[in-house]
Each structure stands twice: as C-alpha cells, then as structure tokens.
Structure 1
Amino acid sequence: MTNISVQYVPLTVLDVDEALGFYRDALGLEVASDVAHGGFRWVSLAVPGQPGLNLVLSAPGAGRSEEDAAALGELIAKGALGGLVLSVPDVDSLFESLSASGAEVLQEPVDQPWGPRDCAFRDPSGNMVRINQVS
C-alpha cells in the first residue's frame, strides 16, 4: 500500500483578507505562509500544532485567465462549489464562537441520521464549511 498524505487543500475565495477574518480569526487556524506574486496572494493556514496539512486561500484570478476567474468568482459567490468539512471535539462550542463572530449560519448543530453531530456555515465568499464533531 502506498503511504500517501494530503499536504495542501486549495480553497478559492473572493477576498483573501476577508477570508482570513473567518479562517484565522474566527476558526483559529494559523498562517503558515503568505506568498504574493503577480498581484495575487496564496495564504496557507494550518491547524495549530498540526503543520502537515494546509488550507491554501487564493483569489479566483490567481493562476487563471480573466474569463475563468470571472466564471469561478460567480460560482463561489453563489455557493455553488463543493464545501469544506472540518472536525472538532466540541461542535457546539465552536458553533457559538463562529455565530458570535458574525459568520453566516446555514445549519445549527444537529445529530445527523448518518452519524456525526454537525453544523454548517458560509465563509465570507460563499463557500460552505461543514463542521463535524469527533469523539
């Protein structure tokens, strides 16, 4: 069996600075790197104490044609792209903290029939972030 791991998860956002307010300030991820090139930024965020996996925020135009960036920006703003699923030990506590930060609530914490207790938010760009509770 191959020993494989995930290192980076790209997430396109409409405004990197605005997204940092959600992912860094409200969720508590730490900035691992902030790289600027050609008028764009790629900001890597890590879970404190777990530097091996990074969520990488970038704008729709970063590395794409203007046409593709415009189309992608529209899909993001609609919330039409796949979401991000995170896990925490206490979903209710994180829900209260994120709600207090002004994040858009999509679903309050609930025990799902398929297993986990979870909740859901939209980040400032419209991406769905679902948060599962792990035991």
Structure 2
Amino acid sequence: MSQGVGVAGLYVRDQDEAADFYVEKLGFRVHTDARNGDYRWLTVQHPDQPSVQLGLFKPQPPTVDEATAQTLNEIVAKGAMPPLILVVDDCRAAYERFRARGVEFTQEPIERFGNVDANFRDPSGNGWKMIEAR
C-alpha cells in the first residue's frame, strides 16, 4: 500500500484566475477539473513533480458556511496564510522568467543563509517563497 500526501490545498478567490496564474505564469498543468453543482475540484501539478497536486479550492458551501468563506477569503487576501515553497535550480533565472510572464514579486532574489530566494504572491494573496536548490 502506498501512502503520502497527494494533494495540498490552497484557498483561492477565483478558480479560473488561479488556474491561469499557475498554468500560464508558473508552468504548472491542470491535473483535475471536475464539478459537482457549484462545487469545483481543481488541481494543478508541477511537471517535475507529478506525484503531488496543488488544490486550488474556493472556500464555499458545502465545505464551509458563507460567513467562514468570507473570513477565509479576507485572510488569504491579506497574505496571512503560511507561504508555500517553490524550489528552483536557478532563482535569479526563474525570477526573470516569471517576471516576464507577469508574476509580481514582493522580494527580488537575494542571497542569505547560503541560498538565493525571492518572494511572490498569487492573485488571491497566497505567499510563495522561491528558493534555489542547493
């Protein structure tokens, strides 16, 4: 039997906007896009890591009530969720490539602690730290 994390979820404000960002700007690909009424299960995956999916989930009923959905959207928009980490071979090159595609960085690449890293946010406010692989 195989076990492990298969999907890590993010709350996003707009699933179409999120899919466009992750696919067109970061180079992920859509893995699953399924609907059940108003509920949409949308996952993407990095082409170099096909065993893990990133769920782009809209906080909404039936998973949470309307008041909780509004609170979650506000928290995400403020950038209050823990950042995700994107490991790249060359942080400065990835920074230039992503910036050319319209990714807005909150920190350009800097060298510290023996690594090079940069920060950006997705359209919903989720923070990402991009770290150069050692």
Give the TM-score of the pair, scaled to structure 1.
0.89
| Aligned AA (2:21) | F
| Aligned AA (1:101) | R
Deviation, 1:49, is 4.4
Alignment size in residue pairs: 132
User: 1:1-135, aligned counterparts within 5 Å?
Assistant: 5-61=4-60, 63-113=63-113, 115-135=114-134
CA RMSD across the alignment: 1.6
Give secondary structure in 1 for the equivalent of 2:117. Answer: strand
For structure 1, the residue ranges without an aligned partner over 5 or more in a row are none
CA offset digits 1:54-97 (Å, max 9, x no partner): 00101121521101101101111111111111101111121112
Give the TM-score of the pair, scaled to structure 2.
0.90
Give secondary structure in 2 for the equivalent of 1:87. Answer: strand
Distance 1:14 1:31 in 2: 17
> Identity of paired residues, percent?
38
Is contact 1:40–1:58 with CA below 8 Å preserved after alignment? no
Is contact 1:103–1:124 with CA below 8 Å preserved after alignment? no
Give secondary structure in 2 for the equivalent of 1:120. Answer: strand
Deviation, 1:42, is 2.0
CA offset digits 1:19-47 (Å, max 9, x no partner): 11221111111111101123132211111
Distance 1:130 1:80 in 2: 14
For structure 2, the residue ranges without an aligned partner over 5 or more in a row are none
Is contact 1:120–1:129 with CA below 8 Å preserved after alignment? yes
Give secondary structure in 2 for the equivalent of 1:111. Answer: strand
